[in-house]
Structure 1
């Protein structure tokens, strides 16, 4: 079967209800769940393919922007992508959601961050960007996830960029204080890429969460949350693990996520998703 026919068949399956096909819709966090330090175990890639061959649909559901997903992240042929912690959703060539900062909110966020000597990246669906003055510091601080920096765009001004999310690697104030000063439109979340303490993290739109992105997928394909399997380890995975039909947490992850989960499995180094898929009957 040629690739075009395979894509059409996949979309046809996606448009059937889970009640009719017994399909499970599996949503995988990337950093700390599907991958470790940007590395995806071959066994995880194989497990995704095996689950799909068994008729299930598997989606990447990550805090990273679309532009932050390189070839390693997309080795598996995912049925769709939920990016920017639920702010950007894409199935095939169709964009279901693209929620971003307004220009006014961007300007206010940058004013606060610059006041506190912030080192940060603006995450846009097409690129991640910073100014030339911040690039060297970013490369120094962004220790492990160089795949993100491979797609870094250096620009003269960030004021007109409308990001999905802002990742802060350093500031003179704790990230929660920074978010509070910017205003209620944003909330501070722990960083999913680097953990540099309380002065780092992610400034996420308050109206965005991963389960909201999942709901956009479910509305598009006509499925219910009961058919969802959500797998994650961080605080930005809490809503989806709580509200999915089956929640899977990663051992050593956020305690609230672990408490909300139906099952807990090891991390990527121990091939935890292979364990989860087998326990849930998604693969042999």
Structure 2
């Protein structure tokens, strides 16, 4: 469905925004038009949340500076609202130990992600520093990606919520899927630098839509009042579940298929255009 066919919504809504490729460009920048749209929507009484696969530690200060009403993080493992973590899911120590053993046996570089800490293999850390520098990222140690390029120390295994792995070899993803796909939800990489064979590993049943559904009662809103905006594999559930699902123009084919309509790309003021069309803000 194109943006011109989308339903217009005018009553109070809760909007859930993916970060990479939706809110931010390939270089991690929030377009000025997107920032302005978010602030105007909030001034109009709407709530705007992040809904990201990133752990809370990975969220760039430039994104946090926008000022959101809360967040879904870790692809649904965490929900922050009014200063409290109302959802906080993680693997048991036994599960995390078995998972890392499997990845080590497969020879895969990865990063274990928790709410308070991350543990990154030497290979993943080296790769991410090299690739992100090639992409044009600067001051990596000050960015939301710093935990991928520095040694942040050991992570308590029983606080692991999600794993990302990196590779340029598609067979890496296939091998991880074959080994772990019945025990975990595995999607292709949704953040810069993971490569064509990289991906994300989450607990079964833990995804952005489930986290949104857990949050909505606290907002006195229903799923029909929620708007999801995304562009990739870990956005599919929320695009399908929310009252309106919006895919960016740069989204994957699967995300576009799951959405109710497609706006323009992140580099072409797509978020602002979607907010205008949905009646969250006035057009300029």
What TM-score, normalized to structure 1? Answer: 0.85
The alignment covers a number of residue pairs equal to 264
| Compared CA separation, residues 279 and 170, structure 1 to 2 (3 A) | same
218, 225, 238: which is aligned to 1:227?
Answer: 225
The answer as to whether partners of 2:111 and 2:163 remain within 8 angstroms in 1 is yes
Check the 8 A contact 2:165/2:194 in 1, yes or no: no
Q: How does 1:240-279 map to 2 (within 5 A)?
A: 240-279=238-277
Counterpart of 1:170?
A: 167
Does residue 25 (structure 1) correspond to residue 23 (structure 2)? The answer is no
Cα RMSD of the aligned pairs, angstroms, is 2.3
Instruction: Tell me the SS of whatever aligns to 1:72.
Output: helix
Query: Deviation at 1:151?
Result: 3.4
Q: 1:159 to 1:48 in 2, by over 3 A?
A: closer
Q: 1:215-250: per-residue Cα shift (whole Å, max 9, x none)?
A: 111022221111111111112111111111111111
Larger mean Cα displacement after TM superposition, 272-281 or 159-168: 159-168
TM-fit CA distance, 1:158: 5.1
SS of the residue corresponding to residue 63 of structure 1 reads coil
Asked whether 1:136 is paired with 2:126, we answer: yes
2:53 counterpart residue number:
63
Match of 2:89 in 1: 99
**Structure-1 separation of matches of 2:162 and 2:19:** 16
CA distance in 2, matches of 1:121, 1:77: 27
Instruction: Report the alpha carbon displacement of residue 62 of structure 1 after superposing the two structures with TM.
Output: 0.6
Greater CA drift, 253-262 or 232-241: 253-262
State whether residues 247 and 255 of structure 2, in contact with CA within 8 Å, keep that contact through their aligned partners in structure 1: yes
- Deviates further, 38-47 or 191-200: 191-200
Look up the match of 2:42.
52
Instruction: Give 5+ residue unaligned stretches, structure 2.
Output: 1-9
Q: Return the offset for 1:163.
A: 1.7
Give the distance between the partners of 1:161 and 1:133, measured in 2 at CA.
Answer: 23
Question: Residue 159 and residue 283 in structure 1: after superposition, are their counterparts in 2 closer, same or farther (change >3 A)?
Answer: closer
How far is the alpha carbon of 1:137 from its aligned partner? 3.6
Match for residue 210 of structure 1? 208
Question: Residue 13 of structure 1 aligns with which residue?
Answer: none
CA distance in 2, matches of 1:171, 1:206: 25
Could you say what secondary structure the match of 1:107 adopts? helix
- The alignment partner of 1:174 has SS state of helix
Partner of 1:4: none
Write the distance in 2 (CA, Å) between the matches of 1:258 and 1:171: 25
1:161 deviates by 5.4
Map 1:63-82 onto structure 2 (within 5 A): 63-82=53-72
Decide whether aligned partners of structure 1 residues 182 and 157 sit closer, same or farther in structure 2, where only a CA change above 3 A counts.
Answer: farther
Aligned to 1:124: 114
